[in-house]
Amino acid sequence: MTKTKRTQVAIIGAGPSGLLLGALLHKAGVDNIILERQSADYVLSRIRAGILEQVTVDLLHEAGVGSGVENHGTIHHSIELVFKNERHPIDVTSLTEGKVVTAYGQTEVTKDLMQHRALNKLETIYEAGEVELHDFESQNPYITYKIGDETHTLYADFIAGCDGFHGVCRASVPKGSIKEYEKVYPFGWLGILADVPPVSPHAIIYANSDRGFALCSMRSMTRSRYYIQCAMEDKVENWSDELFWAELKKRLDPELASKIITGPSIEKSIAPLRSFVAEPMRFGRLFLAGDAAHIVPPTGAKGLNLAATDVKYLSTAFIEYYKEKSSAGIDHYSSRCLKRIWRAERFSWWLTSLMHRFPDTEGFGQKVQEAELDYLVHSKALSKSLAENYVGLPLDFAE
């Protein structure tokens, strides 16, 4: 094995951001190599959200990996809000002149992208240890990493930091060059995946109840994903499947609760809720994309969609650089992304604030939340605002 390689774009991280970037660049003839810390199986074992905006579905098609979502995705035309034990549909499609979202799991998106990469013989180096970035402020950046005990070097024109929130790329930027904005919410989500038909196969259900938030989602017509708000310090071991199902039902309206089909969980985990943005997203020849640069709380399912649009802007910028010898896209990458990111940050924060029980907000805060929910379901203007953010902004929004 040679210990030195060269490529045009070195991508760090084989999550959805890195894999989609690799596919879009390959399609345009731009060489890339992905370095991933984990094994492919480990990457696929992480369960994340599963609602795709049309912009994301279109990007999967553009990258040549659209057949999975086309054949196995489920179109959603509405969402339902539950509060005070009543269900209120929001007809997203009619409020947005025909737009829809598609339920298709992030795990499936990742699997499709991995298969496409393997089929096209594109290089992904899994289990790359001790990845380190060097000289990214110069014209000649490079990366060192370890395979077993051997140190390898990868030279590239550009480095794409697609290595998630805990990755090495953002951490390699000098503290004085980056500004971080963060909000941590005082609760988590306990989620389970189960091979049972979803209670609401054509709309995600968001429930605000006295006992806390609950969400009914799906991965397919035979696989469901449900969540309940839990305390930040709660542990998965505290929740048997029976306890989970019983608590979920208590947070839904009685009719819906009676329709829930329960079964053994195949995955159960607790996720913290965080809003986070790092600015800027470019440092010389290093570009951050996806969770490496920003996190949204999962309410509204914007994480994967934001990652996809970052990567679209980034691939366009690199392609322009190679084909048209123009640096314009590269120079505008960060500001272009951040405009869209802050819109989604606002939306995710707002929906999180509206739907959850906050430990320190009793009385007044709760009454205002109820009034806003009541206003939302009775006002076309507010419902339209929810719907247009839920289906996502167009790609050229930031122009």
- 53 burial type by CB count under 10 A (0-12 exposed, 13-18 middle, 19+ buried): buried
**What is the C-alpha separation between 383 and 376, in angstroms, rounded?**
6
- The binder of 34, among ligand APR, ligand PHB, none, by C-beta within 5 to 8 A per type, is none
> Between 169 and 215, whose beta carbon lies closer to ligand PHB?
215
Collapsed DSSP state (helix, strand, coil) of residue 126: coil
Point out the catalytic residue in the list 206, 227, 313, 321: 206
- Give min distance, CB of 116 to ligand APR, in A: 15
Q: Is 181 in the active site?
A: no
Phi and psi (nearest 5°) for 273? -115, 130
- CB-side neighbour CA atoms (13 Å) of 365: 11
Please tell me the distance from the alpha carbon of residue 45 to that of residue 335, in angstroms, as a whole number.
33
Candidates 16, 141, 290, 298; binder of ligand PHB (CB under 6 A) is: 298
What is the 8-class DSSP label of residue 80? Answer: E
Q: Which one, of 387, 382, 369, lies nearest residue 300 by Cα? A: 387
Q: How far is the CB of 51 from ligand PHB (least distance, A)?
A: 5
By beta carbon distance, the residue nearest ligand PHB is 217
Least separation in angstroms between residue 353's CB and ligand PHB is 14
Asked whether position 82 contacts ligand PHB by CB under 6 A, the answer is: no
Residue 325: CB atoms within 10 A of its CB come to 7
Residue 13's binding partner among ligand APR, ligand PHB, none (Cβ under 5 to 8 angstroms by kind) is ligand APR
Choose the one of ligand PHB, ligand APR, none that binds residue 334, judging by a C-beta under 5 to 8 angstroms depending on kind. Answer: none
| Known catalytic membership, residue 302 | yes
Q: How far is the CB of 334 from ligand APR (least distance, A)?
A: 16
| H helix and E strand count, the chain | 13, 19
Q: Catalytic residue, from 26, 76, 116, 356: name it.
A: 76
Question: How many residues of this chain bind ligand PHB (CB under 6 A)?
Answer: 11
Write down the H helix ranges in 218-302: 241-250, 254-259
How far is C-alpha 110 from the geometric centre of its chain's CA atoms?
Answer: 12
The CA-atom distances, in angstroms, between 209 and each of 58, 84, 85, 247, 357 are 36, 7, 7, 11, 8
Q: Which of residues 110 and 299 has its CB atom nearest to ligand PHB in the complex?
A: 299
Q: Which residues are at the interface with ligand APR (CB under 6 A)?
A: 12-18, 35-38, 43, 48-49, 106, 128, 131, 162-164, 167-168, 290-292, 303-304, 307
**Nearest CA-CA partner of 25 in 94, 117, 144, 131:** 117
Instruction: Supply the DSSP symbol for 148.
Output: T
- Segment contacting ligand PHB by CB under 6 A, of 44-52, 66-74, 134-142, 337-345: 44-52
Return the one option of ligand PHB, ligand APR, none that residue 285 interacts with (CB less than 5 to 8 A, by type): none
Give me the catalytic one of 16, 141, 297, 298.
Answer: 298
Asked whether the beta carbons of 175 and 25 are under 8 A apart, the reply is no
193 binds ligand PHB (CB under 6 A): no
Residue 294 bears catalytic tag:
no
Q: Which is nearer to ligand PHB, 212 or 298 (CB)?
A: 298
Query: Could you tell me if 264 and 193 are in contact, meaning their C-beta atoms sit under 8 angstroms apart?
Result: no
Residues in contact with ligand PHB by CB under 6 A are: 49-51, 204, 215, 217, 225, 298-301
